[in-house]
A and B are shown apart, each in its own frame.
Chain A
């Protein structure tokens, strides 16, 4: 009996020693896996997408001498989701990974990515107020923070300066309203060549969601359990879209019209703006007319509310080095150097207010742009992001929004101002039914 007990004690002691040795060895040489895709999240061309992250990683490794951050080069945006899913299924999920919007909800729902609330609360050196709340919100689903933003991109309004000049209209001020936008659109919508067909238009790609955002309409509760499609704000937005749509008559505005300089306005992302305003892309697109960007229009009671997109990083919930993974995520998000570099080298904006509002940011922003009479500047972008609206994140969102979009688009096309209220009630009912299943 005593012999057996001794044997057990000896085995336990050996096991403990082995574990300690192994863990000591581990802490000396930690390899952190990082997953990112090449190219660009914002569907614009980019020259070398890895440079920024190579530098950030080198910096991080300097701060943590025992850590080696590995990542695989050459995974493109289109293949990234599948590649990452395979890694996850084989239980080889990287410790830190870039998360695409289409994966975010699913990954959070499947607990593939770690909940960050606790990390954020306990880490005193992490100050979430430094990050744009709009950008931070993109990493929240079902009231829980699952990801941190590293890049952010707001929607802004493209203005065809040449067209407005020809029509004798001034470029709207930054605080222009939906009504101002409508008035300009009404003025420019006409048949220029006299063939009886309208060939010059006011606006392209402006959606009812943009109008709703401008009016400050909130369609979903933050947990996605409730929806509201009968609010006064939304009703006004839809009514506005109907009148705006009526201007074009039976004509549909196309990308060709826009590229030919026949459309005055179009929402586009900051990334597109920065790409097409700078060399060498400047000469490839929209080169036959003068253009610039201004913030999105204000609603009646709203602000210049733009939709804001973010690129997020998340931590694997099965990571063996969560503390380090958190450090790395935090480093990417909150290190001013890294964020400045991101603002400088990518077409997106930084998620840090301090970076966007710094004097050097202005230089970065103007560096490659020839136009002297730019309306847009870094400070303005900062306020656009600050006042922006992140797309809500919950499991039913994509489906519910698709359903609502098809219904409301139909409603806008049908020009039925009269029974708008009952139609919206019907949509409300349909969407409620849809989200109640989740």
Chain B
């Protein structure tokens, strides 16, 4: 969305303004020429000189200059439409003011309507309105100082009315009306322009506000994403740690465990072979065999300790069952587990999410709900896995999604699933997770 470029409707009103004001200026100078010829041809030149306070200049030259100035104003406007340079915009507006002043002076301050054009351009290209009062003051000052009435006070210049008075009474009335109308139209056009400019600027402001709102929203989302990302990074790091520990455990199990097992078997063979040997050797071999077996047990224990979580050691269902068993044992809570599948082929992330969901659900029920009984259901159809955790605890009058619940929701939504929380004679968490395509 461009803000500085001229709006289409504004362009049209400016074009109208340009054309009308230019015609006005040219009309003034042409009128002066025509009526001067009339003065001269009617033999009233001397009495006309008596009436005027100063002498009109060479109107042929003035007419030429007004034409030239109007064309230059047009060029300057077109230049502003084409350029993007602020410097050119400002200097062309200053140039416009000089042109307007020169035309007004050439017409001996009888017509200063062209200044409205310069003001309009000035308003249009102003970007900051902090000094609006100075702009307004300068504008009013220029307009009043160059107005025909001010000119009379200043040096008794000739007036268009002096020239109107050389026509017949009837024509005079028409001419006076015509000139008032020209002035009125100029001012009305300027007024319309100002209104349209205000509307245009308001639109721009609205647009900016809208953009700002969207930006704030995006920022908020970005912040949340960041948070998630950080969590994910933690998770990843943890996973990497787990995998590494698993690998090490496997290594230890496969290498040292294998070696020790071989060693133990070898030692047993040695014991059998040493039937005829001395008792000392036998007892030494038995001792070695014993140490070796102890080593195997120690290695197994170490390997077992290297695997950090039940889930990492077992498949999901085993892990859940272990969790339930452990919790029942620790918390003195009865937990039922209804599962209609024997095995689930799930991705690591899915398993993880489901395990955490159940773990969090149970923890919540015991910690917040003080539940005595928890029913967990894990059912699967062709496309969907349904997990339902219901307790008989206190529930909540109003479900405020704290970190725990939000975390659950996010986990489920990351898997394109849905989760609902209900509190009705206890608390219920119900989640649906779609099964991935191409998997069984």
Contact = CB atoms under 8 A, between A and B. Distances in A.
A244 to B, nearest CB: 36
B46 A110 contact: no
Interface in A83-113: 85-86, 88-91, 103, 106-107, 110-112
A110 B158 CA distance: 10
Contact of B40 (A81, A90, A103): A90
Interface in B391-412: none
A164 to B, nearest CB: 45
A82 interface: yes
Nearest to A318: B58
B175 interface: no
A143 to B, nearest CB: 18
B55 A111 contact: yes
Contact of A81 (B46, B55, B58, B61): B46
A110 B40 contact: no
Given A91-B59, A91-B60, A110 B45 contact: no
B52 interface: yes
A106 B50 contact: yes
Interface string A137-166: 000000000000000000000000000000
Given A89-B40, A89-B45, A112 B50 contact: no
A103 B43 CA distance: 16
A81 B50 CA distance: 12
Interface string A312-335: 000000100000000000000000
Interface string B300-339: 0000000000000000000000000000000000000000
A36 B45 CA distance: 18
Q: Provide the main secondary structure of the chain B interface.
A: helix
Q: Provide the main secondary structure of the chain A interface.
A: helix
Contact of B46 (A85, A91, A111, A318): A85
A88 B59 contact: no
Contacts of B49: 85, 88-89, 106-107, 110, 112
B39 interface: yes
Contacts of B50: 106
A107 B52 CA distance: 11
A86 B60 contact: no
A89 B36 contact: yes
Nearest to B46: A85
Interface in A285-327: 318
Interface in B59-74: 59-61
Interface in A102-131: 103, 106-107, 110-112
B57 A86 contact: no
A110 B57 CA distance: 11
A397 to B, nearest CB: 15
Given A90-B40, A106-B50, A110-B52, A85 B45 contact: yes
A88 B45 contact: yes
Contacts of B46: 81-82, 85, 103
A70 to B, nearest CB: 20
B180 to A, nearest CB: 26
A103 B54 CA distance: 14
B421 interface: no
Contacts of A107: 49
The interface centre, meaning the residue of B43, B49, B53, B59 with most chain A CB atoms within 10 A of its CB, is B49
Given A88-B45, A89-B45, A106-B49, A112 B55 contact: yes
A85 B40 CA distance: 8
A237 to B, nearest CB: 32
Contact of B39 (A81, A89, A91, A103): A89
Contacts of B39: 89
Nearest to B62: A91
Given A86-B40, A106-B50, A110-B52, A91 B58 contact: yes
Interface of A: 81-82, 85-86, 88-91, 103, 106-107, 110-112, 318
Lowest 4 A-B CB distances belong to which pairs? Answer: A85-B45, A91-B58, A85-B46, A86-B45
11 contacts: A81-B46, A82-B43, A82-B45, A85-B48, A88-B55, A89-B45, A89-B49, A90-B36, A91-B59, A107-B49, A111-B54
